[in-house]
A and B are shown apart, each in its own frame.
Chain A
Amino acid sequence: HRHLLELLKRTTVHGESNSALIIGPRGSGKTALLNHVLKDLREMEQVRENLLEVHLNGKNPFLSGLLQTNDKVALKEITRQLQLENVVGDKVFGSFAENLAFLLEALRKGDRTSSCPILFVLDEFDLFVHHKNQTLLYNLFDISQSAQTPVTVIGLTCRQDILELLEKRVKSRFSHRQIYLMNSFDFKQYIKIFKKQLSLPAEFPDESFAQKWNNNVQHLSEDKTVQDVLQNLFHHTKDLRSLHLLLMLASSAVTVHHPLLTAADLQEASRQHSTDSKANIVHGLSVLEICLIIAMKHLNEVYDGEPFNFQMVYNEFQKFIQRKAHSMYNFEKPVVMKAFEHLLQLELVQPLERPSVRSQREYLLMKLLLDSSQIMDALQVYPNCPTDVKQWAASSLSWL
């Protein structure tokens, strides 16, 4: 934080050009850090404004790589945000080449001492790397390395290998300042964060309730089950966003009649949070579809994960029906086909290649997108499952 603050301060105060990258996994607070620094910076300048009359209007073109899909759009956006003179009412006209030349000319004219420093923030920096020739990055870095208008280029990305994506001459111009953000806190801090997130702020209107609520939160944080839930989540991911998500789920259970959060709420939320989506789909399937999935599972085991087609699945299903005909109604082939297509639509099975007009649907090669353990788990909780289907699922080879 301090590093970044210093860096930006130098740009604004001394007119020094810089470039830096903030790298960290998703949810590690890159943007939050930058915003925080900018806020601090603005405050500082405000303070100094009285004394030295500095309000450097360090403009912040926030460029998001997701919005600026190519250099052309990005360039227009920069020009617009800088409010250069070829901007007319928030719109930029002219060709790409003109705009680039114009912007470069504008930036070239400035020098260290007289021009207003500019801060470029490139969000999702990795997407800018994929632009053609990396023209924008080259030019930005080149400006930051030459005696032109002072600029600071800050890139935000989650990719650790970002530097390898830069072209060599672009890389050479980048100053190699990297700020790594990691979620390096341990579980105790995690609990603290949990408490802080859940506690009501002091300015909450109903003070007595806030008191009660906060006490409850304190109590919760010491509770064993809650700690287990949090520990589990912590082990899975250190991303604070997932914690927020969990707490959101839990606190949505709070009603007038149920004013305080309980450990059970959190457990429930955690359960919801960690359920397997595909296995959940299996619960809603018909018995025929379950049977087809079991047939596919057997095929997978027999052929060791080789792709199968509908005919194979149907044959497998027929074998089962013939042996245990009494428990299942023998469906006709079109009906089975229909059920199979339903599974296809649910993306429980996936075709290996795009279905073409020529190949017959029965012989299209498919893959099952479920693991056998998932199927077994799903069968355990499946309501009203015929016992022989369960037996069939459990013992694959004996039926052959």
Chain B
Amino acid sequence: MNTRQQSKLIYSWYGKPLSSDRKLRTSQYKGILITSESSKTETCIKLGDFILVEGVNADQPYVAQLMDLYEDGAQHKRAVVQWFCRLEEIPQNKRKLLKREISAQEVFFDQVLGYDTDIAAETIIKRIMVLPLHLSEELPIITLNKEQTFYVRQSWDGKCFKVLSPDTFSKLKEANKKRGVITNYSKAFTPSDILTPVKKETESVVWSATKPKNTDMEIESKHSTSKSSLAKERHSQRVANNDIKTPTARKKLELNSPTRSKGKLLGCEVLGLLDDDCDAIAPLEPSAPKRKVKFTGEMLGSPPKIPCSNDKSKPTSETAEQRQRCSDTLRLSPYTKVKDFSEKDRDLHEEDDILLSLVGYQTQSSQIPVLTPRSRRTCAQKTSALIAEQISLLKSHGKLAAEEDFSSGSDSSYSSSSEEEEDDDVPCTPEKKPKSSKTFSTPKSSRKSAVHTPAKTLKKTPLQGTPRTPRTPRNATPEIPRRVQAAQEPASVLEEARLRLHVSAIPESLPCREEEFQDIYNFVESKLIDGTGGCMYISGVPGTGKTATVHEVIRCLQQAAENEELPPFQFVEINGMKLTDPHQAYVQILEFLTGQKVTATHAAVLLTKLFSTPGPKRKTTVLIVDELDLLWTRKQNVMYNLFDWPTQKHSKLIILAIANTMDLPERIMMNRVASRLGLTRMSFQPYTYKQLQQIVLSRLKGVKAFEEDAVQLVSRKVAALSGDARRCLDICRRATEICEFARQKRAPEIVRMAHVTEAIDEMFSSPYVNAIRNASLHEQIFLKAILSEFCRAGVEEATVQKIYHHYVALCRVEGLQSPTVSEVMAICSRLGACRLLLVEASNKYLHMRVRLNLSQDDVMYALREE
């Protein structure tokens, strides 16, 4: 499945060419033989088979059906496929159209036009199963090959989901039949009310070995129900997940709570947890099939009837539990029947009895001796009393069971795990450790890091692929603690205005940037429609709305894509300032695109491969590179790569590069980089005062907080200085604050000129003059001495020694005690710390050179006022 494995495979045709087209010099074949060099195994894939095709992301190969195989004129092995798409491939916003939850193994019959169905045969990874199901059908439990079995219920044509047409359905079924998989549809049973006891339904489990390889074992059981309630969906999801873990991992998530209503409550959270589970379990997968082979897959009898009142009882078996949970589905889990069935049976009996006596619930599990308490997860959410009770029971049960296990010495492997999900502080109850080394207990790491009882739970097991170092929680969710109390809403007009004037407030539209917006929009749109790549360089001084405009463009484009006006695209953003190292850009882009986390060099290789090879289902990617100048490296390879990718034929990459300097390409880029960047440039001019005024007014629309003239004054001031919109907004915001202070005395409702002037003064006034005026007398005399020394020497630099002479003289004139050299040095360093003076390192003592950090006139002005 990964590239490494794939590299060892040899592809050859199976059989002779069926037909050949002389003209096109193509010849068609009925199958392809994949030979693995390492294991010397051969797999034959024939037409109509379902296959996995190498995708962008190594972990998520595409699902497809092989329609045609041929060799083209250039001796390349080609394949024509019918795509299926996974849920992940469907845009987020479309997923809600589905109105139901989808298991990881469900795929959609892909009818989206525009995807290249002609692929290289070498990208085929292996054969899989795709089972067509009716919409209302339950997902069957697949205990084997769960990774290789997918289900199709609906088709997806890029806009909406449709039920599979009977034609397609039968075709797909046909394809499966051909492979020898017998799907057996049980007759639908009538769904009963949730609270009514489960009716016994027929189930048939047909499983057949289709291929010599163990992986081809298939267990199918179909339950058709006429109703697909939400609960059922959830259930099916759960089952699908459960399947993942079936024999080995016994981390069954049972939504079993003592009462029925509780179980319902859990819902989504548990699903989330399940997903986590699923992830955690993923590394175990390889071991799963091996294990499975050993099982004879005996279906242990299903109890004839489980009344719902049993819900209150301790769930003792997976089967039973599930029955109770979803009353209208009967879940079968293939339980392992091991050789010494009777012994185990006895064990179970005992255990159950113990359990019974302890729990004191009425249970029917004793009637179902075969069923074992395989896994038990109680999600105690409601009554704490029940929680406590359960824990203690479970604990004691666990212990007893463990003892039981020991004493009996049976090699039966079963485990009971019970975990408290929702309560962080509730420790995981001990899990009974199975004897068999193959089974292991993986403590569920609930996101909130539940306290595990370390004595009993085995943290690491040899089979667990990823050794979790307890020090570094890998999947720590980056999150800031929530605030306890909701933020106050603005109460007054001024507060409202201030909120709107905050730079972070997102305006509905960007005034005064319509032209630029249109240009960028057109650029990206045309590239999107053409399906080509390109670069655009955007420059402008800070605070002119470059990033805001680009984001606005992307937002509009995304909206357009949603409305089917444009082909869908991916959007990736990196910011040079937010990277610690230019090479980290690769890592971030790759993470955005595929979700993989790799090192920088590897990421670069992967990305180059990604963008330079034609992918079958590639979407266009729009990449925004903010603060481009920081991606500069000495060899400029990061920039080179970035701008080289769009020029590749198949890349479908659009880059919008943003930086401050207009001539960045000429100034810091090498020729080969600059030439790849192209000539599509755009510069954002600083805002004029009118534009600034418009921006402020548009933000203040509907709020009467500012005098017209006041806004104009701010705009003019800022436009004269920098044209930075951020500055303008900050001044206005400050003015509202000043106004608010003033209002406490009088009651002016709106911000007037005076307030604005004050704010401007505050922001732009030079601090130096004020600092000098507030300096001590000797500090001022020292500054005077500096001035007179400068005056004498005519150079704007002097040593302390020379200044000292002037200083002493001045002190005499003023009639002050002349200070010692140490004091002078102290004064000098104080002024230096404030950066009124620029001084050398102080170890030069008297020979330290001193320079003024402001103009002599300023000093003179400040001193004369005294």
A residues at B contact (CB < 8 Å): 2-3, 6, 13-17, 23, 25-26, 52-57, 71-72, 82-86, 88, 91, 93-94, 96-97, 100-107, 109-110, 112-118, 133, 135, 138-139, 142, 145-150, 158-161, 168-169, 171-173, 175-178, 180, 182-184, 232, 234-239, 274-279, 305, 347, 350, 367, 369-371, 373-374
Known: A25-B830, A182-B771. A88 touches B472 (CB 8 A): yes
Known: A14-B488, A15-B487, A172-B724. A275 touches B767 (CB 8 A): no
Give every chain A residue within 8 A of B770 (Cβ-Cβ). Answer: 180, 182
Docked pose: A160 CA to B777 CA in angstroms: 19
Give every chain A residue within 8 A of B808 (Cβ-Cβ). Answer: 373
Instruction: Judge whether B762 and A178 touch: CB under 8 Å.
Output: yes
Q: Does B768 contact A (CB under 8 A)?
A: yes
Instruction: Judge whether B774 and A82 touch: CB under 8 Å.
Output: no
Give every chain A residue within 8 A of B847 (Cβ-Cβ). Answer: 350, 367, 369
A-B contact list, 17 entries, CB within 8 Å = A2-B741, A16-B498, A17-B502, A26-B830, A84-B478, A109-B480, A115-B483, A135-B577, A146-B503, A159-B835, A173-B542, A173-B726, A178-B763, A236-B776, A236-B778, A369-B846, A374-B821
Instruction: Judge whether B734 and A84 touch: CB under 8 Å.
Output: no
Give every chain B residue within 8 A of A142 (Cβ-Cβ). Answer: 577
Instruction: Judge whether A169 and B627 touch: CB under 8 Å.
Output: yes
Q: Does B572 contact A (CB under 8 A)?
A: no
Instruction: Judge whether B823 and A274 touch: CB under 8 Å.
Output: yes
- A317 CB to nearest B CB, Å: 22
Partner of A88, one of B473, B775, B835: B473
Instruction: Judge whether B833 and A158 touch: CB under 8 Å.
Output: yes
Instruction: Judge whether B820 and A16 touch: CB under 8 Å.
Output: no
Docked pose: A371 CA to B847 CA in angstroms: 10
- A294 CB to nearest B CB, Å: 17
B residues at A contact (CB < 8 Å): 471-473, 476-488, 490, 495, 498-499, 502-506, 541-543, 577-581, 584, 587-588, 627, 630, 660, 722, 724, 726-727, 730-731, 733-734, 737, 741, 762-763, 767-768, 770-771, 774-779, 801, 804, 808, 816-817, 819-823, 826-827, 830, 833-836, 844-847, 853
- Chain A, Cβ-Cβ closest to B816: A235
Instruction: Judge whether B472 and A86 touch: CB under 8 Å.
Output: yes
Give every chain A residue within 8 A of B498 (Cβ-Cβ). Answer: 16
Instruction: Judge whether A371 and B846 touch: CB under 8 Å.
Output: yes
Instruction: Judge whether B820 and A107 touch: CB under 8 Å.
Output: no
Give every chain B residue within 8 A of A54 (Cβ-Cβ). Answer: 484-485
Instruction: Judge whether B482 and A115 touch: CB under 8 Å.
Output: yes
- A104 CB to nearest B CB, Å: 6
Instruction: Judge whether A161 and B853 touch: CB under 8 Å.
Output: yes
Give every chain B residue within 8 A of A93 (Cβ-Cβ). Answer: 471-472
Instruction: Judge whether B543 and A172 touch: CB under 8 Å.
Output: yes
Closest 4 CB pairs of A and B: A172-B542, A106-B478, A85-B476, A15-B487
Instruction: Judge whether B578 and A100 touch: CB under 8 Å.
Output: yes
- A138 CB to nearest B CB, Å: 4
Give every chain B residue within 8 A of A146 (Cβ-Cβ). Answer: 503-504
Give every chain B residue within 8 A of A17 (Cβ-Cβ). Answer: 502, 504
Docked pose: A200 CA to B737 CA in angstroms: 41
Give every chain B residue within 8 A of A106 (Cβ-Cβ). Answer: 478-480
Docked pose: A277 CA to B504 CA in angstroms: 55
Instruction: Judge whether B480 and A237 touch: CB under 8 Å.
Output: no
Docked pose: A12 CA to B396 CA in angstroms: 48
Docked pose: A109 CA to B476 CA in angstroms: 14
Instruction: Judge whether B485 and A105 touch: CB under 8 Å.
Output: no
- Chain A, Cβ-Cβ closest to B470: A88
Docked pose: A182 CA to B779 CA in angstroms: 14
Give every chain A residue within 8 A of B541 (Cβ-Cβ). Answer: 168
Give every chain A residue within 8 A of B835 (Cβ-Cβ). Answer: 159-161
- Chain B, Cβ-Cβ closest to A83: B481
Instruction: Judge whether B580 and A97 touch: CB under 8 Å.
Output: yes
Instruction: Judge whether A16 and B502 touch: CB under 8 Å.
Output: yes
Instruction: Judge whether B826 and A160 touch: CB under 8 Å.
Output: no
Of the candidates B630, B724, B771, B776, the one having the most CB atoms from chain A within 10 angstroms of its own CB is: B776
Docked pose: A374 CA to B820 CA in angstroms: 8
Instruction: Judge whether A182 and B774 touch: CB under 8 Å.
Output: yes
Instruction: Judge whether B801 and A371 touch: CB under 8 Å.
Output: yes
Docked pose: A114 CA to B484 CA in angstroms: 8
Instruction: Judge whether A159 and B834 touch: CB under 8 Å.
Output: yes
Give every chain A residue within 8 A of B502 (Cβ-Cβ). Answer: 16-17
Known: A135-B577, A142-B577, A168-B541. A276 touches B822 (CB 8 A): yes
Instruction: Judge whether A114 and B483 touch: CB under 8 Å.
Output: yes
- B771 CB to nearest A CB, Å: 6
Known: A159-B834, A369-B845. A147 touches B506 (CB 8 A): yes
Docked pose: A278 CA to B821 CA in angstroms: 8
Known: A146-B504, A172-B724. A236 touches B767 (CB 8 A): no
Partner of A112, one of B485, B487, B627, B771: B487
- B734 CB to nearest A CB, Å: 7
- B823 CB to nearest A CB, Å: 6
Of the candidates A6, A135, A176, the one having the most CB atoms from chain B within 10 angstroms of its own CB is: A176
- B625 CB to nearest A CB, Å: 14
- Chain B, Cβ-Cβ closest to A91: B471
Give every chain A residue within 8 A of B821 (Cβ-Cβ). Answer: 276, 278-279, 371, 374
Give every chain B residue within 8 A of A171 (Cβ-Cβ). Answer: 542
Of the candidates B486, B506, B741, B821, the one having the most CB atoms from chain A within 10 angstroms of its own CB is: B821
Give every chain A residue within 8 A of B499 (Cβ-Cβ). Answer: 14, 16
- B86 CB to nearest A CB, Å: 25
Instruction: Judge whether A237 and B779 touch: CB under 8 Å.
Output: yes
Give every chain B residue within 8 A of A278 (Cβ-Cβ). Answer: 821-822, 845
Docked pose: A106 CA to B477 CA in angstroms: 8
Give every chain A residue within 8 A of B775 (Cβ-Cβ). Answer: 238
Of the candidates B483, B488, B730, B844, the one having the most CB atoms from chain A within 10 angstroms of its own CB is: B483
Give every chain A residue within 8 A of B477 (Cβ-Cβ). Answer: 85
- A352 CB to nearest B CB, Å: 9
- B445 CB to nearest A CB, Å: 12
Instruction: Judge whether A25 and B833 touch: CB under 8 Å.
Output: yes
Give every chain A residue within 8 A of B826 (Cβ-Cβ). Answer: 236-237
User: 16 extra interchain contacts, Cβ-Cβ under 8 A, other than A169-B577, A238-B776?
Assistant: A14-B488, A25-B833, A85-B478, A86-B472, A94-B472, A133-B630, A147-B505, A147-B506, A150-B487, A172-B722, A177-B730, A234-B776, A274-B822, A276-B821, A277-B822, A278-B822
Partner of A275, one of B495, B587, B762, B820: B820
Docked pose: A369 CA to B578 CA in angstroms: 49
Docked pose: A370 CA to B825 CA in angstroms: 13
- Chain A, Cβ-Cβ closest to B576: A133
Instruction: Judge whether B822 and A275 touch: CB under 8 Å.
Output: yes
Give every chain B residue within 8 A of A150 (Cβ-Cβ). Answer: 487
Instruction: Judge whether B724 and A13 touch: CB under 8 Å.
Output: no
Docked pose: A306 CA to B608 CA in angstroms: 65
Docked pose: A342 CA to B508 CA in angstroms: 76
- Chain A, Cβ-Cβ closest to B799: A305
- A100 CB to nearest B CB, Å: 6
- B824 CB to nearest A CB, Å: 9
- Chain A, Cβ-Cβ closest to B476: A85
Known: A14-B487, A15-B487, A86-B473. A160 touches B846 (CB 8 A): no
Instruction: Judge whether B482 and A114 touch: CB under 8 Å.
Output: yes
- B767 CB to nearest A CB, Å: 5
- B599 CB to nearest A CB, Å: 10
Instruction: Judge whether A169 and B542 touch: CB under 8 Å.
Output: yes
Give every chain A residue within 8 A of B819 (Cβ-Cβ). Answer: 236, 274
Docked pose: A27 CA to B834 CA in angstroms: 11
Docked pose: A110 CA to B477 CA in angstroms: 12
Docked pose: A183 CA to B406 CA in angstroms: 80
Partner of A15, one of B483, B630, B726, B741: B483
Instruction: Judge whether B577 and A133 touch: CB under 8 Å.
Output: yes
Docked pose: A184 CA to B484 CA in angstroms: 41
Give every chain B residue within 8 A of A25 (Cβ-Cβ). Answer: 771, 830, 833-834
Docked pose: A104 CA to B578 CA in angstroms: 8
Docked pose: A82 CA to B481 CA in angstroms: 9
Instruction: Judge whether B833 and A172 touch: CB under 8 Å.
Output: no
